[in-house]
Amino acid sequence: MEQQPQTYRFTWQGIDIEATYTPRKWTVIAHLEIRSIKPERAALPITATGYLSHFHECGTIEARGGDVVAQVTAWLDEEASTPEWQAHLARAKQGELFG
């Protein structure tokens, strides 16, 4: 049985983010939606479009303490250290002449 979605709003590095977590969707899977809402569709280290739909095994978030915001923040922080994200930040800071 599908459980009701839980919606969380938080700010990460100046970007307002909404995370909607459905602990049980279609009986055997959980669903996490992440979107940047201000600025709208701002790129994040886990999605260039500002939106991510992530399906995973039920109980994954709960097994790690159940704090959706903390886990999404940790995921963002981890991916923000990648060379790809650092290059994105450098381009954004500098501006792209022929983007």
Give the number of domains in the chain.
1
Q: How many of the other CB atoms lie within 10 Å of CB of 77?
A: 12
pLDDT tens per residue, range 63-99: 889 899 999 999 999 999 999 999 988 888 876 555 5
- Stretch (H or E) spanning 50: none
Does any domain span residue 19?
Answer: yes
Q: How many of the other CB atoms lie within 10 Å of CB of 21?
A: 22
pTM of the model: 0.86
CA dihedral sign of residues 91, 86, 21, 29: positive
Does any domain span residue 98?
Answer: no
- 55: pLDDT strictly greater than 80: yes
Question: Which range of residues forms the domain containing residue 14?
Answer: 6-93
How does the average pLDDT of the chain come out, rounded? Answer: 91
The pLDDT assigned to 83 comes to 94
Cα 67 to Cα 35, 75, 94: the distances in Å are: 17, 12, 36
